[in-house]
Chains A and B, each alone.
Chain A
Amino acid sequence: MKLIKDKVAKLSFVALLITVTAAMFYVPTASAHGEKSQAAFMRMRTIHWFDMNWSKEEVAVNDTMTISGKFFVFQGWPETVDKPEISFLNVGIPGPVFIRAGSWVGGQLVPRSVSLELGETYEFKVLLKARRPGDWHVHSMMNVQGGGPIIGPGKWVTITGSMKDFVNPVTTLTGETINLETYNLENTYFWHALWYALGLAWLFYWARKPMFVPRSIAVEAGKADSLITSTDKKVALAFAVGTLVIVATSMGATNEKYPITTPLQAGLLRGMKPIEMPARTISVKVDDATYRVPGRAMQMTLTITNNGDSAVRLGEFNTAGVRFLDPAVSVDESGYPDDLLAEEGLTVSDNSPLAPGQSRTVQVTASDAAWEVYRLADLIYDPDSRFAGLLFFYDEAGNRQMITVDAPLIPSFI
């Protein structure tokens, strides 16, 4: 029995230590490298990021850069993920290494959550101001309530300089310009120090006298009342009155110093303006699709019909931020991240221009190590083994048309 008690005591002590440690060492999530561990279907069938551009690869502290592009909200949004009715345009960076100086969807500033429509394409831009030096993987990101973060493609960006030099000037509506990086800091320290000191004074008023053992004995002997003297009562009253006076006067002084304050701003932003996409004149039917595990390649049989008035060629297959290009048709000039770009990853059995009014069945292969590196191949282990992505066709004049595909995928292990 004694042994068990000792063990329990020991275990509770360990548990206590863990608790203290856990609480004191809590760090808010800063890492943004969940990109590869996110289920493949989440990345393939929710938000498709394209025309991505990172304005700089190296930026000095206090300088700005932008991530911009477009995203298509997939119509075949998976059942298991909540619709993006409440979403927040975020950036995937490891904590505030940049500050988000601005973010826009369809030209509208989006500091708060927005409502997005399935099947629509939106333009977005995030303005970042460099704060902390280092090499950072910078992603676009959409948080969807009930769906979690949907991470877009990431690119390495280097911040140079020193964080000590970072400033964040903001001009308030009362006409003052402040540095938000350090604003109100001294005031915060002052009030916390003052109140902490008052608390300590109260504690030490009692701790300077004998505490636990003698007082416990006195209480048990029925002499509890003798433990509080009339001086104690006066001191206590002074503490209470002092507290009320400090609270009241500091509040009054604060209101005088800051006569204009407003409540925090919150609430969903609706009516995001989508891009008017050109009318679709190409139709694509997926006859079948297989993923060859050993070849790290996806093969699709597509029947393409051109209902437009210009001959078209298939230039790109884009899924989960990975771009497979046919170099004869489409070349990347935006400095897209290498690991997500298969410059010669797309082969089409017959990619000669498809004349208006014609229809053709072709074999399309998208192959690249990215299938494995970005764990997209894992989608063959998904409960609903489907793939989805964007096909980009180009006509003779170089106009681009975006077609979405969404079809079952059969894995092939040999």
Chain B
Amino acid sequence: MSASQSAVRSRAEAVKVSRTFDWLILFTLFFVVLGGYHIHYMLTGGDWDFWTDWKDRRLWVTVAPIVSITFPAAVQACLWWRYRLPFGAVVCVLGLLLGEWVNRYLNFWGWTYFPVNFCFPSNLMPGAIVLDVILMLGGSVTLTAVVGGLAYGLLFYPGNWPVIAPLHVPVEYNGMMMTLADLQGYHYVRTGTPEYIRMVEKGTLRTFGKDVAPVSAFFSGFVSIIIYFLWHFFGKWFAQTTFISSDDL
């Protein structure tokens, strides 16, 4: 850190440059994560996140946390171990949700005219905040994976319930009972998404009667633990600097 080799001449200038870097990096990180995470989530969570008539008590609850804990785990690994910055999960979810809202609002609604109350994204923020706080306070991958991963799975359904519950109010429609969400799926014609590809309320949790959501959430939490470990190590590996040789710098 000798000033004579540096492009900046004073400490104040160094601070200013460093701040500029901060914002540049954060901005880039935000959009890189937005792009990668968004496409990943669309490919893995896809229709479960697109349509309210896919947001059920079994599969949506199970799938969404498992496939969405990936990027938060990886970005946490980089930001925490290299910078002690505990916002990896939140910055991922902020990026994802922005990308999703832009897509849903401009394309699903603006271009194709599906009502926003039918194609809004799922809320992943509660789990992300808790995940970041646990990593920060515990400073341990294992603790974050086990407690954080489980919490991430468990918080998903209740975190979305205030938005989803009104759509699970039943209606009688031409002699059949369905929920308002089912009715949205029926009313707002999707030629490319016939009803039979909808994967909802399938599985072997029948013995739990009507309390399948907590069971699904627990299961999702357990798998999230494993996925968290896996992606945390991906993140750590990607955050290495050993493959940048010093003569390039």
A residues whose Cβ falls under 8 Å from a Cβ of B: 5, 16-17, 19-20, 22-32, 86-88, 90-93, 95-102, 109, 111-113, 131-132, 141, 143, 145, 149, 163, 168, 170-174, 176, 178, 180-185, 187-188, 191-192, 195-196, 198-200, 202-203, 206-207, 210-216, 218-219, 224, 227-228, 232-233, 236-237, 239-240, 243-244, 246-248, 250-251, 253-255, 257-258, 260-268
- Chain B residues with CB under 8 Å of A102's CB are 174
Which of B94, B133, B165 contacts A258, CB < 8 Å?
B165
Say whether chain B's binding surface is mostly helix, strand, loop, or mixed. helix
How many contacts A-B (CB < 8 Å)? 322
Distance in Å: Cβ of A315 to nearest Cβ of chain B: 33
Q: What distance in Å separates the Cβ of A114 from its nearest Cβ neighbour in chain B? A: 9
Do residues A111 and B94 form an inter-chain contact, with CB atoms below 8 A? no
CB distance from A123 to the nearest CB of B (A): 16
Interface stretch (choices B62-70, B118-126, B219-227):
B118-126
Q: Is B102 interfacial (CB-CB < 8 Å)?
A: yes
B108 & A27 in contact (Cβ 8 Å cutoff)? yes
Query: Which B95-139 residues have C-beta < 8 A from chain A?
Result: 97, 99, 101-103, 106-108, 111-117, 120-121, 123, 125-126, 128-130, 132-134, 136-137
Q: From residue 42 to 96 of chain B, which have CB atoms closer than 8 A to chain A?
A: 42, 50, 53, 55-57, 81-87, 90-91, 93-94
B174-211 contacts to A, CB under 8 A, are: 174-184, 186-198, 200-202, 210
B192 touches A184 (CB 8 A): no
Question: Which of B87, B114, B158, B172 is within 8 Å of A247, CB to CB?
Answer: B158
Compute how far the CA of A250 lies from the CA of B196 in the bound complex, rounded to whole angstroms. 33
B94 pairs with A203, CB closer than 8 A: yes
Contact of A88 with B194 in the complex, beta carbons under 8 Å: yes
CB distance from B216 to the nearest CB of A (A): 11
Query: B217 at interface (Cβ–Cβ under 8 A)?
Result: no
Q: Which residue from B84, B134, B191 sits with its C-beta under 8 Å from A92? A: B191
B84 and A228 contacting across the interface, CB-CB below 8 Å? yes
Interface pair B113/A196, CB less than 8 Å apart: no
Does B32 belong to the interface (CB within 8 Å)?
yes
Q: Are B86 and A236 in contact (CB under 8 A)?
A: yes
Given contacts A28-B108, A92-B191, contact A263 B56 (CB under 8 A): yes
Instruction: Report the minimum CB–CB distance from A200 to chain B (whole Å).
Output: 7
Query: Does B35 lie within 8 Å of A172, measured CB to CB?
Result: no
Q: A177 CB to closest chain B CB, in angstroms?
A: 10
Q: Pick the contact of B170 from A173, A195, A244, A248 — CB < 8 Å?
A: A173
> Are B25 and A212 interface neighbours, CB within 8 A?
yes
A residues near B22, Cβ cutoff 8 Å: 207, 210-213
Task: Take A170-B171, A219-B84 as given contacts and tell me if A188 and B120 are in contact as well, using a CB distance cutoff of 8 Å.
Answer: yes
Most buried by A among B130, B168, B194, B210: B194
Asked if B232 is an interface residue, CB under 8 A from chain A, the answer is no
Q: State how many angstroms separate the Cβ of A5 from the closest Cβ of chain B.
A: 8
> A203 and B35: CB pair below 8 A?
no
Within 8 A of A (CB), among B159-176: 159, 161-163, 165-176
- Cβ contacts under 8 Å, A113 to chain B: 194-196
**Contact across chains for B187 and A237 when beta carbons are under 8 A apart:** no
| Residues of chain A within 8 A of B136, CB atoms compared | 228, 232-233, 236
Do A96 and B171 form a contact, CB below 8 Å, given A195-B126, A206-B85, A264-B182?
A: no
- Are A188 and B116 in contact (CB-based, < 8 A)? yes
What would be 28 A-B contacts, judged by CB atoms less than 8 Å apart? Answer: A16-B35, A20-B99, A23-B99, A24-B107, A91-B189, A96-B188, A100-B189, A102-B174, A111-B182, A113-B194, A132-B113, A170-B171, A173-B171, A182-B115, A182-B117, A184-B117, A191-B163, A202-B90, A207-B22, A214-B18, A215-B83, A219-B81, A219-B83, A237-B137, A261-B170, A264-B200, A266-B56, A266-B198
Query: Which residues of chain A have C-beta atoms less than 8 A from B179's C-beta?
Result: 261-265
Could you say which residues of chain B place their CB within 8 Å of the CB of A19? 35-36, 39
- Other-chain residue from B87, B107, B113 in contact with A96 (beta carbon distance below 8 A): B113
Q: B31 at interface (Cβ–Cβ under 8 A)?
A: yes
Q: From residue A130, how far is it (CB to closest CB) to chain B in Å?
A: 12
CA–CA, A268 to B197, complex, Å? 11
Chain B, Cβ-Cβ closest to A17 = B35
The reply to whether A240 and B90 contact each other, CB–CB distance below 8 Å, is no
B83 / chain A contacts, CB cutoff of 8 Å: 211-212, 215-216, 219
* Contact of B187 (CB < 8 Å), options: A99, A210, A213, A246: A99
CB distance from B170 to the nearest CB of A (A): 4
Evaluate whether A24 and B38 lie within 8 angstroms (CB atoms) in the complex, with A240-B134, A264-B200 already known: yes
Known A-B contacts A24-B38, A196-B97, A215-B84; A244 and B193 likewise in contact (beta carbons under 8 Å): no
Query: What residues of A have a CB within 8 angstroms of the CB of B200 in the complex?
Result: 264, 266
CB of B26 to closest CB in A, whole Å: 6
Beyond A199-B97, A207-B87, A257-B165, list 15 extra A-B contacts (CB 8 Å): A20-B34, A27-B108, A29-B193, A99-B189, A111-B173, A112-B195, A187-B162, A192-B97, A195-B123, A200-B94, A202-B87, A212-B85, A239-B133, A254-B161, A254-B165
Asked if B145 is at the interface (CB within 8 A of a chain A CB), the reply is no
Q: How far is the CB of A270 from chain B (nearest CB, A)?
A: 13
B114 partner, pick from A28, A213, A215, beta carbons under 8 A:
A28
Q: A200 CA to B26 CA in the complex, in Å?
A: 13
CA distance A141 to B130 in the complex (A): 47
Given contacts A20-B34, A145-B196, A254-B161, contact A109 B176 (CB under 8 A): yes
Q: Decide: B180 and A180 in contact? CB cutoff 8 A.
A: yes
B167 near A184 with CB under 8 A, answer yes
Which chain A residue shows the least CB distance to B190? A28
**CA–CA, A203 and B130, complex, Å:** 13
A181 to B187, CA, bound (A): 10
Choose one: B32, B84, B85, B137; the contact of A16 (CB below 8 Å): B32
Which listed residue (A31, A185, A248) contacts B116, Cβ 8 A? A185
B10-48 vs A, Cβ < 8 Å mask (1 yes, 0 no)? 000001001101100110000110111011001000000
Is B150's beta carbon under 8 Å from chain A? no
* Contact partners of A99 in chain B: CB under 8 A: 187-189
